[in-house]
Amino acid sequence: MSAYLIRRLLLVIPTLWAIITLNFFIVQVAPGGPVDQAIAAIQFGQEPGMPGVTASGGGASHAHTGIAHPGENQYRGARGLDPEVIEEITKRYGFDKPLHQRYFKMLKDYLSFDFGNSLFRSASVVHLIKESLPVSVSLGLWSTLIIYLVSIPLGIRKAVSNGSRFDIWSSAVIIVGYAVPSFLFAILLIVFFAGGSWLDIFPLRGLVSANFDSLPWYQKITDYLWHIALPVLATVIGGFASLTMLTKNSFLDEIRKQYVVTARAKGLDEKRILTRHVFRNAMLLVIAGFPAAFISMFFTGSLLIEVMFSLNGLGLLGYEATVSRDYPVMFGTLYIFTLIGLLLNILSDLTYTLVDPRIDFEGRS
């Protein structure tokens, strides 16, 4: 298993390189880069958002990505502006350097997890990710944990009582929950329980209260759970269906196999058959879906929830960076997303061997 693990870890490096390289060159053809936005802001009488980036080169040394610097007359927003102003803005954002220099500098810095500074915020990308990561981790872990704790027992119960009234009405409830988008369910929760038109029980903004640091430890736990309750509930509502049906179908397939029939013929207890024989084999498919489920909750599924409940997580950070063309933040979050996803896939393979020791990945060709 150690040799297989080493091979998988070594494959992380070329995979990260390929994804980052592909996205780097894709944004070269994307219009409306930060230089264009800064020029447009000046033409509309606004100050371009450049906190923490100085003309002396502090921003230029950390601006790893961005559109290549074309001729000044190719910028539609540059018409009517002094060419020296355009040159100053381009240099300030670090886009005066050739494309290949910025690309290789980005690869070198990313090896040491140096993602540079945000183009529009007075902070480094690492600092912004550190601030946002706890929120997304909290939301993703709680959501995934609750979905698995509910869906696996429910799927097993549905498989055991296949075709019964419980199986039929529970399937109807699951389908309805799956059909309701998470953001619509979040709106309903806000209206009914967060001071909308009915009750004002749960807070609407943030992950903790303003006086969180002054609270005793037990009140901190209560305050945190009080704030996270509605976002987690809105996130998990659509996640029950797929995992529950996957668990049910996996158990049904195993229950119908010959070894289960043989075990019943030998007079083994039904509960013992399920726990000692069926469970281990049926859970393999469920475990295989864990990385995808967690990544979905962690990165994509929580984006609208973070916006609606004012939670400053990685999803919201990446979305705002994309809208504003904040390339260092875009590529920094992409790098972290990809790395976590690859490591979770490796963790999934390791979990396979814990559930079923008969699986040997080193024996695969």
Q: 106, 63 in Cβ contact below 8 A?
A: no
Question: In 3D, which of 311, 333, 312 has the Cα closest to residue 322?
Answer: 333
275 assigned to some structural domain? yes
116, 162: one domain: no
d(C-alpha 57, C-alpha 55), whole Å: 5
d(C-alpha 9, C-alpha 339), whole Å: 11
Q: What is the pLDDT of residue 309?
A: 85
Residue 142, number of CB atoms within 10 A of its CB: 19
Q: What is the pLDDT of residue 92?
A: 61
Q: Which of 123, 151, 168 is the last residue of a domain?
A: 123
Q: Which of 60, 89, 123 is the last residue of a domain?
A: 123
Total of domains in the chain: 2
Which of 124-138 are b and which e, b meaning 16 or more Cβ less than 10 Å from the residue's Cβ?
A: bbeebbeebbebbeb
Which of 268-278 are b and which e, b meaning 16 or more Cβ less than 10 Å from the residue's Cβ?
A: eeeeebbeebb
Q: Which of 96, 123, 150 is the last residue of a domain?
A: 123
202, 60: one domain: no
12 assigned to some structural domain? yes
151, 223: one domain: yes
Q: What is the pLDDT of residue 363?
A: 59
Q: Which two tokens stand for residue 217?
A: 């430890």
**Following CA atoms 290, 303, 341, 26 in sequence, which dihedral angle do they give, to the nearest 10 degrees?**
140
338 assigned to some structural domain? no
307 assigned to some structural domain? yes
158, 225: one domain: yes
264 assigned to some structural domain? yes
Percent of the chain with pLDDT over 90: 3
**Following CA atoms 238, 241, 242, 246 in sequence, which dihedral angle do they give, to the nearest 10 degrees?**
160
155, 131: one domain: yes
26 assigned to some structural domain? yes
355 assigned to some structural domain? no
360 assigned to some structural domain? no
pLDDT digits (tens, 9 = 90+) for 9-41: 888 889 989 988 888 887 766 666 666 666 666
180, 286: one domain: yes
Q: 352, 287 in Cβ contact below 8 A?
A: yes
Given a cut of 80, whether residue 287 has pLDDT beyond it is: no
Q: Summarize the confidence of residues 286-312 as an average pLDDT.
A: 73
d(C-alpha 57, C-alpha 243), whole Å: 51
Structural domain including 55 reads 2-123
Find the distance separating the first CA and the last CA of the chain, reported in whole Å. Answer: 14
Tell me phi and psi for residue 94, to 5 degrees: 80, 15
66, 136: one domain: no
286: domain CATH number?
1.10.3720.10
237, 108: one domain: no
Given a cut of 80, whether residue 1 has pLDDT beyond it is: no
23, 165: one domain: no
174, 307: one domain: yes
Least reliable range by pLDDT among 42-46, 74-78, 115-119:
74-78
Where is pLDDT greater, at 206 or 150? 150
| Mean pLDDT of all residues belonging to the chain | 77
132, 257: one domain: yes
pLDDT digits (tens, 9 = 90+) for 88-116: 666 665 666 777 887 888 888 888 888 88
Question: In 3D, which of 40, 96, 46 has the Cα closest to residue 67?
Answer: 96
154, 223: one domain: yes
